[in-house]
Structure 1
């Protein structure tokens, strides 16, 4: 069920001290204020200066003023978030933010003792993520949308507002009389996520008033199913070995073969095959019935090939 911001914060219990990812926008402003109110003296802020907009310096100055008024320590991380060919600007910015958070954790522990980072994604962001995954024909990992908590590079991350609507956040901010900045890129409908926010979510609210709850439940079911698949993949990978033995791969059912190949490629090589690549790889594995049968196939950013009895992946 969706929550009010107050309910979400009452249930939020991170390990302290806590850093809040603070852009200066409405959502991160609400999260920062709510955390400072709940844990005075235990909260700091980190602002990622992406360097992508003319207004980026103004955003930083706003964050400096707000944090000074709150007596909150602010760390500004300047990152190059320009996107590579074929990469979306949103993905490049997201990767830059995580690099900034991880750099924060590597700073002098006597000065920065951050154990947890809170990010202000909310229920509408979660629905947008699910719809984008559906539009790409994603599997269970994509349909699981965003997790509420996870660990990365030794840091614990939290999304405490993931069941709070954007409208509720703005109502709470109005009650606090809190100032925030508006990133013009967030209303630019050239970006698919912004078109979903402006056009699709209002239509869903008319047709399915409780869509935030039901869609979130769908993502939770997908996440639970994916957790089971991961357990099976780990067991199967232990059985077939690393690198996998082709004969042992051939003994698996097609669904389990696809599952363990995805897990091996992702966990060992950070490679994600397309559906067509994975289908062809499984076909070629099945065809390896003689000692001399060759296998060489483009998979993600590298290649899979047969070397003796085993399947290998390498990147040029």
Structure 2
């Protein structure tokens, strides 16, 4: 574990009324409700916790997820407990097994385990709102990853400023603040943080983007954080419109997709409806190849005896009478 050499503030300093960019970013966070802050001990979550504790004294609780993936994880937990004691903020620790299954992405597995744990511990302590520390640099990295994977609008929309999971509202109030601004602000506060050793592992795609591409973007396009964020907002707006259209189209069918009704729609609109049906109704996403095959089968289905049975995600889409149905793998 590598830690910043800047000291942690004394309790009297943590209640300073001084305002800065991080406090300003939290201006729209709900007032008068208990708040959870996802706190890893890194610079981003430390800045978020410190600002939230100042702005909402007595209303903030820290949520720390112990992933158990690194030898330093126990040191992270001890550091977080010390900072919270200094700030007078309760801390709740949730231990998870974030190991990934064969063929699964280690980063994706850890992220899923983290959000599940945060929602679980938040509910256990009566918290309905949890703040996350992702910032503008994280948003750029997310967009670049989406582009590298050939993502559609949902991916290009990046990280949403807010989302719901298991009855908990998650907010990302720092999405417009660059990472260097957060670290500089922490230095001015005399607040230390931990540097996760895994952040230097360029075997991870996100770290290669951070250490290789981000400096090049900074040199070539100094305003890239703002322009990338604007593109993400445009993509999110377009996706909301497509979502609303898919809801209307599916509602008109009064149930699962009706094959004859699908055939009367343009192919792009069929694809939009089917993606929505699978995601909203069954929590699965199909690959581009699976979707194209399904669309071809829908188009070819002109006789009573024409069957459809296509593998989609972890299950299959089948024809059942005049409609499509999705069944999970047995």
Q: 1:210 aligns with which of 212, 223, 226?
A: 223
TM-score after normalising by structure 2 = 0.91
Alignment of 1:67 onto 2:80: no
Q: 2:104 aligns to what? A: 87
Alignment of 1:144 onto 2:161: no
> CA offsets, 1:37-95, max 9 Å, x none?
11111101000000100000110011111111111100000011011122111111111
Distance 1:143 1:55, change over 3 A: same
Q: 1:42 aligns to what? A: 59
Shift of 1:131: 0.4
Q: After superposition, where does 1:227-306 map in structure 2 within 5 Å? A: 227-306=240-319
Q: 1:132 aligns to what? A: 145
Quote the Cα distance in structure 2 between the aligned partners of 1:14 and 1:144.
28
Secondary structure at the residue paired with 2:102?
A: coil
* 8 Å CA contact retained: 2:250, 2:256: no
Q: 1:221 aligns to what? A: 234
* 8 Å CA contact retained: 2:64, 2:91: yes
Q: 2:136 aligns to what? A: 123
Secondary structure at the residue paired with 2:305?
A: coil
* 8 Å CA contact retained: 1:15, 1:116: no
Quote the Cα distance in structure 2 between the aligned partners of 1:86 and 1:223.
29
* 8 Å CA contact retained: 1:149, 1:157: yes
Shift of 1:10: 3.1
Q: Select between 79-88 and 212-221 the one with higher mean Cα deviation.
A: 79-88
Shift of 1:4: 3.4
* 8 Å CA contact retained: 1:123, 1:162: yes
Shift of 1:14: 5.7
Quote the Cα distance in structure 1 between the aligned partners of 2:28 and 2:167.
23
Q: 2:40 aligns to what? A: 23
Quote the Cα distance in structure 2 between the aligned partners of 1:13 and 1:36.
13
Unmatched 5+ stretches in structure 1: none
Secondary structure at the residue paired with 2:93?
A: strand
Alignment of 1:97 onto 2:114: yes
Quote the Cα distance in structure 2 between the aligned partners of 1:166 and 1:126.
11
Quote the Cα distance in structure 2 between the aligned partners of 1:127 and 1:15.
32
Shift of 1:115: 2.2
> CA offsets, 1:167-224, max 9 Å, x none?
0000001011111111111111000100101010110111111011111000000000
Unmatched 5+ stretches in structure 2: 1-19
Quote the Cα distance in structure 2 between the aligned partners of 1:9 and 1:233.
34
* 8 Å CA contact retained: 1:243, 1:311: yes
Shift of 1:242: 2.5
Q: 1:114 aligns to what? A: 127
Q: 1:55 aligns to what? A: 72
Q: 1:32 aligns to what? A: 49
Distance 1:240 1:153, change over 3 A: same
Q: 2:6 aligns to what? A: none
The size of the alignment, in residue pairs, is 310
Secondary structure at the residue paired with 2:222?
A: coil
Q: Select between 283-292 and 153-162 the one with higher mean Cα deviation.
A: 153-162
Q: 1:5 aligns to what? A: 22
Alignment of 1:77 onto 2:100: no
Shift of 1:5: 2.4
Aligned-residue RMSD, C-alpha: 1.3
